[in-house]
Structure 1
Amino acid sequence: MNKKAVLYFMLIAAGASVFMKRPDDGGKGKKREKTTFQTSQHWKPVTDTRADVAIVYGVGGNPSDRVKGKTFEERVQSWRDRGYTTHFMTGIAWGEYQDYFTGKWDGQWHLNEGQVQRSGDTIWHGHMVPYIVPTENFLKYMKEKHVKRVIDAGIDAIYMEEPEFWARAGYSDAFKREWKKYYGFDWRPQHESPENTYLSNKLKYQLYFNALKEVFTYAKEYGKSKGMNVRCYVPTHSLVNYSQWMIVSPEASLASLDCVDGYIAQVWTGTSREPNFFNGKEKERVFETAFLEYGSMESMTAPTHRKMFFLTDPIEDRARDWADYKKNYEATFTAQLLYPKIADYEVMPWPDRIYEGLYRTSANSDKRERIPQHYSTQMQAMINTLNDMPVSENKVSGSAGISVLMANSLMFQRFPVHQGYEDPQLSNFYGLALPFLKRGVPVSTVHLENLAYKETLANTRVLLMSYSNMKPLKPDAHTELARWVKNGGVLVYCGRDNDPYQTIKEWWNTGEHRYAAPSGHLFGLMNMDEKPGEGRYPYGKGLVYVLRSDPKEFVMQEKGDSKLLAEVSRLYAEKSGAGKLVFKNSMYLERGPYDIVAVLDENEHSQSYRVKGPVIDLYDPALPVLSEKNVQPGEQALLYNAGRVKDKTRPQVLASASRVYEEKFQGKTYSFTCKSPLNTTNVMRVLLPGAPKNVVLTGPSGEILRDAENSWDASSKTLWLRFANQPDGVQVKVNL
């Protein structure tokens, strides 16, 4: 019997129990890597977020957050000294690479390798920081100057973020050379034809696919030579956002690379507040867009079982006011939690700008201040739930099985406009998703590139698709779709097939294929005419319904979705085996002790959603215990349901704006240590078997904290505490 076991049985014999609520490892001796954040700075007491992993950004820092006086190795060590596991992140499409561009690295000037638009202007990310055409020479520089150095520093996890090529770019000499190398013929201006645009964007897509493959392969091989297992991750915006923002990136195709170990879904207020159309109105719909963004990232990787971190940001890149940040942070935070199979998180990027940045106090004021105490308290209570958020087998409430098909080629047709055909704000995608999501149907997305995986369509009853906004890069996907329909699936195809990209020179109209549109090949596999009219077409055990409208018509026109809703509702009821397609105005998920709720507006239903208590409201910085919570349309809620605590006789922290360590229960004393950033306020709820006799709080130097507040709530048997946070820890001792 080992020493730990002997100690355990001695304590049991003495009538005591000792436990750790939040272990430092994930089992099997591995360090926990459940929560992360990224920073270009060294450790500071005001940014000590207490996530598991500090992702140290850039050998030279971040272009918008220049690091002075600290080497990369010193920054890494400062976080390690505070108990953090350290990883590394840098941009693959931009970064502090001035030594490359100005010739310091190899004696050659490389500013001409930036992404250039038609006007001849380079697209810049910052001063002397262009968006990059990833040439062979640049990748050599990245490997030798950056990747090698961070591995030599003992880093075994590397994140190459935002592989981005702007759709409006593609006019530089560097890009023209890559074009000739890839296609074997001279460059063609993308603005001159749809085919040129398609070819240009396919190349942009391929360049960053190859860039990640080359850099990650090198990282793994070099790490192996040093006895290290280097893991490689891609932090990336969602396919929804990149398509809407007119950026090209490899996205789902990265699943085919063995050198990619996982992703960070870069979804936040800045991406999710991009306006879209619904019921004829263009406006911000932050919760709904975030839900679809996170969904597209989850479905992109689900069949591969690779690790996925979901990111949220308590602020955003654009300057707004604190109330705006708070409202939209709650919306995106709720959206991420409605994916119960994802339980790893980047809790924030750039804590320095969150805790130390100055932002407007209100929308109508020019006065700026640092993060308000109430908001930092709320934010820290929220991110500390992520340290404990469990994976769950529960499903979001609502009729399941409605999916929207998407493909990487969504990014290929966005810019420029050809032959007058436009897709405002990606409406051909939102036109299939929002009519259902806005009515409380937890619509999911399916990636064309993943159809070969059996799991991809396993939970889909009705699949909605269109080729008005994307095209299949290979014919194989059609074979998988036809097989799925034959086995009982319901496919709803929406589109006029008259956008200018239908007739570009591609596989469906070259060689053995002579189809006027790619859908003709798909229909032919299911014994249909190449150009079927609107209506139903049985195939095997399933059927195809053709609706000859482009999806953008469903959302850009008031009540334009009525026919789509009617037909899908009928098909769902008749063919899905799941009963009636239910429309409502809420989404709810029970996830361990947490209740997650979103109530939708712009809905014929206008009632609130009621959750019976006692619940702790985690979006209220006071952490009140409520007998019930009513969530109104347009609002979201994250609640800790005290009724679902597993062992109500055991003292435990239920909610806290700090992270809890060294938790012990011995005799009549319950104690723990709280750590969180300096200059913030901790509020917490502690479950106890009865009212405490006294509570003693001790600071990091052993001083008694006299100004701490506490109160007892008999109905929930919780102790409420409020005191100033300390990164070095405040010890709480409760005598029962």
Structure 2
Amino acid sequence: MTDSTDKHGEATGFQEQAPYDESIDLRTDFVMVYGLNDSTPERIARWRAAGYRIHLMTGISWGTYQDYLDGRWDGSGHWADAQTAGDGSPILHGESTDIPYMVPTFAFTEYLVQKLRPIIELGVEGIHLEEPEFWARAGYSESFKREWQAFFKEPWQAPHSTPEAHFRSGQLKQHLLSRSLDRVTSVLRDEALAQGREVRFYVPTHSLLNYTQWQIISPESRLRTLPSIDGAIAQVWTGTSRTPNVYAGKVAERTFETAYLEYGIAQDLTRGTDRRMWFLHDPIEDHPDRTWEDYLANYRRTLVASLLHPGVARYEVAPWPHRIFNRPYLREGSAERELIPPDTATSYLIAMNSLRDLDQPDVRWSQEGPRIGIALSDTAMFQRWAPGGESGHYDGLQDALALEGREQLHFSDFYGLALPALFEGQRVCPVQLENVIDAPDALDDIDVLVLSYEFQKPLAPGIHYALAGWVSRGGSLLYIGDGADPYHEIRSWWTGRYDTCADHLAEALGADRSRDGVQASGQGRVRFIASRPAEFTESPERAAELVSAIRELAEAGGHTWKSSNWLSVQRGPYLIGAVLEEAGGSQVVEGTYLDLLDPQLPIVRRRELGPGQLAWLRDLTYDDETLLASAGRVVDWQRDTTTIRFSCEAPRGVQVTTALRVPSEPTAVQGVSQSKYEDGVLWLRHPGDPAGTRVELSFRQP
């Protein structure tokens, strides 16, 4: 790590609705001032005065838009634009009674344009339109019925009356959200350019995996092609990733593994483009009744999971710092709430500041085995509601293990394909299926692709021609499916000519779908297994069957398969790893490291990690950098033969720990409350100050 004054790359940022306060001044590169109200200009001005690049964030599907709903905006009430469930009730955001999720009609879209227009004059550099969301259980409002008639040119059908009606409902919802985003961003960008300004537009969005699991429709792959979108934030955090799933017959929270898969699919929103992607971490999550210990443990699971994807090196380090540093929560074994423990605050800040140094060109995996892709399509979102019946609504705040209809929530068709090989320690990553058409390199990092059409469908035959080309050049494809999914019968490009879309896939590959075993296809290979994907979650034996099939294809392609309980990568000096909990066993790490997950930043020479344990270590032998890690932002760095001077910026009220590599124990230390020297490392501690704590170290003449 070096002096981190440059903020142009916007490597780290956070979102905040509260006004500026020194206790939540995280000293990142940029801040996303949240919400549109009378206080927005003042809040922007104060954060700008604190040295931040300024973005603005607001919800595009929900927000404080009561003036639109009640008619103050244009003289007409618009509650008919609220997303509506089958019983006629509006679908509301959180615990609110007057903040519904909106149908993005033309009228609502124009309202958003007018609402956002004044923001351009405030000189923000980016506008984030977060969470374009349409609930799968919605689709009964009068405005949605009109949009159906216009889009499909036929009368509205109750979305959950048939599989086809539900699938079409999902297609329309995605279209409406994409249309609204395109209109808002294109108009505002043009108006900004007319004023001589440049404003970038981003979409903070949950992962395709989470939206599918929670039964929500969103644009997802469309974000790659909307011309006025400059990137996205992958909103992956404890609240999404602790959603239970099933593996080997056991229902459980698998926060690390789920987060790893969520971050994996999210990067496909920008991979191969010049658009920006930030990975979100949330030290607290939305659920207010967990303990500090629970928050910290699960934060670390999502943090390490994100770092195992070295293709992304920008991060939203926190939403809502005020709820992290200024709200009380429970402690283990106590009914009393208290503010953040000092060591927890220090630990969070060490992570947040270290994240600025993750853009490392030197990337080395612990094992170079096959890279396994799990194909996931936008259309999986269109199939997640059970037609003809209600199932439990879930948004991360309910008890998922007691939820009515929780079997539907588990999304076992996907996890049955993804978890078995992941628990073998293989590099498993979901792949956005739609990308294979317009991104020639979409599968360049994949050796074996696992695909099923039992929970999703290909929107165009071109997907199969792209897959066939990839296989013919040496790829390996494993298709899982028994054809029992009722959605095979919907009206689409394959119906009337093929029994299922998988038959067209086999034709494109020149393969026989009814034949067992591996078949050659050009320089590659393909295998069809007539099973329902969810079956591979039912027992260890079924999981092993799938692993055997994937391994067979990988080895046929010339790859060496080595089972492991350890998933890790080295990014420059940083070793990141996890012992996969359900793989069993332990992993010993030896060397000379600084432990970035420990607020004391101790030196580690040997560590044995058990199931579920994590590591984020800085290799002290990798380079000779002086600044190793800090809970503050180090700026104004100066060094000569006898002196080191710098300022360390951090939120007021926290305890800052900084670790430096120095040639000897200093003769004088100024500006800190404590210092300790050992084995070439100097630890400094002092209270946080966002204006900066000036530190000066003196050394003997060499």
TM-score (norm 1): 0.90
When residues 77 and 424 of structure 1 are mapped into structure 2, their CA distance, relative to the original with a 3 A threshold, is closer
Corresponding residue number in structure 2 for 1:127 = 97
For residues 239-269 of structure 1, give each alpha carbon's deviation from its aligned partner in whole angstroms, at most 9, with x where no partner exists. 0100000000010122121211111000000
Once the two structures are TM-superposed, the CA of residue 46 in structure 1 deviates from its matched residue by: 0.6
Pick the aligned partner of 1:487 from 473, 482, 495.
473
Where do 5+ consecutive residues of structure 2 fail to align?
391-404
Distance 1:183 1:87 in 2: 38
Corresponding residue number in structure 2 for 1:612 = 591
Distance 1:156 1:660 in 2: 24
Distance 2:193 2:69 in 1: 30
Task: State the one-letter code of the partner of 1:646.
Answer: D
Corresponding residue number in structure 1 for 2:532 = 550
Corresponding residue number in structure 2 for 1:527 = 510
When residues 109 and 385 of structure 1 are mapped into structure 2, their CA distance, relative to the original with a 3 A threshold, is same
Pick the aligned partner of 1:451 from 418, 423, 436.
436
Pick the aligned partner of 1:730 from 688, 693, 698.
693
Distance 2:542 2:601 in 1: 43
Once the two structures are TM-superposed, the CA of residue 470 in structure 1 deviates from its matched residue by: 0.3
Pick the aligned partner of 2:45 from 74, 77, 85.
77
Matches within 5 A, 1:244-255: 244-255=213-224
Corresponding residue number in structure 2 for 1:65 = none
SS for the counterpart of 1:664 is strand
Pick the aligned partner of 1:263 from 224, 228, 232.
232
Distance 1:596 1:306 in 2: 26
Once the two structures are TM-superposed, the CA of residue 418 in structure 1 deviates from its matched residue by: 5.8
Distance 2:173 2:142 in 1: 14
Once the two structures are TM-superposed, the CA of residue 667 in structure 1 deviates from its matched residue by: 4.5
Of the two structures, which has the highest relative contact order with CA contacts closer than 8 Å and spacing of 6 or more?
Answer: 2
Q: Contact 1:407–1:472 at 8 Å: present in 2 too?
A: yes
Structure 1, 345-354 or 295-304: larger mean CA deviation: 295-304
Corresponding residue number in structure 1 for 2:314 = 344
Corresponding residue number in structure 1 for 2:677 = 712
Matches within 5 A, 1:141-220: 141-146=111-116, 148-220=117-189
Pick the aligned partner of 2:107 from 128, 137, 141.
137
SS for the counterpart of 1:87 is strand
SS for the counterpart of 1:257 is coil
Corresponding residue number in structure 2 for 1:378 = 347
**Superposition misfits of 4+ residues, deviation over 6 angstroms:** 419-422
Once the two structures are TM-superposed, the CA of residue 346 in structure 1 deviates from its matched residue by: 0.5
Task: State the one-letter code of the partner of 2:83.
Answer: Q
Matches within 5 A, 1:248-647: 248-319=217-288, 320-362=290-332, 364-398=333-367, 399-417=369-387, 425-452=410-437, 453-510=439-496, 514-529=497-512, 532-575=514-557, 577-578=558-559, 580-603=560-583, 605-613=584-592, 615-647=593-625
Distance 2:319 2:409 in 1: 30
Task: State the one-letter code of the partner of 1:640.
Answer: R
Structure 1, 554-563 or 656-665: larger mean CA deviation: 554-563
For residues 594-638 of structure 1, give each alpha carbon's deviation from its aligned partner in whole angstroms, at most 9, with x where no partner exists. 1111111111x402231322x111111111112223222101111
Matches within 5 A, 1:85-104: 85-104=53-72
TM-score (norm 2): 0.94
Corresponding residue number in structure 1 for 2:654 = 680
Matches within 5 A, 1:202-241: 202-241=171-210
SS for the counterpart of 1:561 is helix
Distance 2:203 2:152 in 1: 27
When residues 171 and 419 of structure 1 are mapped into structure 2, their CA distance, relative to the original with a 3 A threshold, is closer
Once the two structures are TM-superposed, the CA of residue 484 in structure 1 deviates from its matched residue by: 1.5
Once the two structures are TM-superposed, the CA of residue 554 in structure 1 deviates from its matched residue by: 0.6
Is the counterpart of residue 691 in structure 1 residue 665 in structure 2?
yes
Once the two structures are TM-superposed, the CA of residue 406 in structure 1 deviates from its matched residue by: 1.0
Task: State the one-letter code of the partner of 2:250.
Answer: K
Is the counterpart of residue 59 in structure 1 residue 29 in structure 2?
no
SS for the counterpart of 1:316 is coil
Q: Contact 1:341–1:391 at 8 Å: present in 2 too?
A: no
For residues 3-22 of structure 1, give each alpha carbon's deviation from its aligned partner in whole angstroms, at most 9, with x where no partner exists. xxxxxxxxxxxxxxxx9721
Distance 2:498 2:364 in 1: 41
Distance 1:228 1:110 in 2: 33
Q: Percent identity?
A: 39
Once the two structures are TM-superposed, the CA of residue 411 in structure 1 deviates from its matched residue by: 0.5
SS for the counterpart of 2:160 is helix
Q: Contact 2:370–2:554 at 8 Å: present in 1 too?
A: no
Distance 1:139 1:372 in 2: 44
Q: Contact 2:232–2:269 at 8 Å: present in 1 too?
A: no
Distance 2:648 2:5 in 1: 14
Once the two structures are TM-superposed, the CA of residue 424 in structure 1 deviates from its matched residue by: 5.3
Corresponding residue number in structure 2 for 1:12 = none
Q: Contact 1:340–1:395 at 8 Å: present in 2 too?
A: no
SS for the counterpart of 1:132 is coil
Q: Contact 2:170–2:382 at 8 Å: present in 1 too?
A: yes
Once the two structures are TM-superposed, the CA of residue 653 in structure 1 deviates from its matched residue by: 2.2
Task: State the one-letter code of the partner of 2:601.
Answer: L
Distance 1:540 1:95 in 2: 53
For residues 622-665 of structure 1, give each alpha carbon's deviation from its aligned partner in whole angstroms, at most 9, with x where no partner exists. 11112223222101111111111335xxxx32111111111111
Distance 1:565 1:639 in 2: 31
Once the two structures are TM-superposed, the CA of residue 417 in structure 1 deviates from its matched residue by: 4.3
Q: Contact 2:29–2:53 at 8 Å: present in 1 too?
A: yes
When residues 374 and 419 of structure 1 are mapped into structure 2, their CA distance, relative to the original with a 3 A threshold, is closer
Once the two structures are TM-superposed, the CA of residue 391 in structure 1 deviates from its matched residue by: 3.2
Q: Contact 1:534–1:548 at 8 Å: present in 2 too?
A: no
Q: Contact 2:241–2:255 at 8 Å: present in 1 too?
A: yes
For residues 93-131 of structure 1, give each alpha carbon's deviation from its aligned partner in whole angstroms, at most 9, with x where no partner exists. 101111111211111111221111111111111231100
Once the two structures are TM-superposed, the CA of residue 730 in structure 1 deviates from its matched residue by: 1.0
Q: Contact 1:653–1:685 at 8 Å: present in 2 too?
A: yes
Distance 1:558 1:377 in 2: 41
When residues 157 and 711 of structure 1 are mapped into structure 2, their CA distance, relative to the original with a 3 A threshold, is same
How many residues are paired up? 679
SS for the counterpart of 1:459 is coil
Q: Contact 1:261–1:307 at 8 Å: present in 2 too?
A: yes
Distance 2:121 2:409 in 1: 48
SS for the counterpart of 1:159 is strand
Structure 1, 308-317 or 540-549: larger mean CA deviation: 540-549
Task: State the one-letter code of the partner of 1:712.
Answer: Y
Is the counterpart of residue 36 in structure 1 residue 13 in structure 2?
yes
Distance 1:628 1:96 in 2: 53
Distance 1:135 1:436 in 2: 43
Task: State the one-letter code of the partner of 2:500.
Answer: A
Where do 5+ consecutive residues of structure 1 fail to align?
1-18, 26-30, 61-69, 698-704
Once the two structures are TM-superposed, the CA of residue 533 in structure 1 deviates from its matched residue by: 4.2
Distance 1:93 1:270 in 2: 20
When residues 24 and 734 of structure 1 are mapped into structure 2, their CA distance, relative to the original with a 3 A threshold, is same
When residues 305 and 433 of structure 1 are mapped into structure 2, their CA distance, relative to the original with a 3 A threshold, is farther
For residues 52-106 of structure 1, give each alpha carbon's deviation from its aligned partner in whole angstroms, at most 9, with x where no partner exists. 001111112xxxxxxxxx6211100001101100001111110111111121111
Once the two structures are TM-superposed, the CA of residue 379 in structure 1 deviates from its matched residue by: 0.2
Corresponding residue number in structure 1 for 2:85 = 117
Q: Contact 1:20–1:662 at 8 Å: present in 2 too?
A: no
Distance 2:109 2:516 in 1: 50
Matches within 5 A, 1:22-33: 22-25=4-7, 31-33=8-10
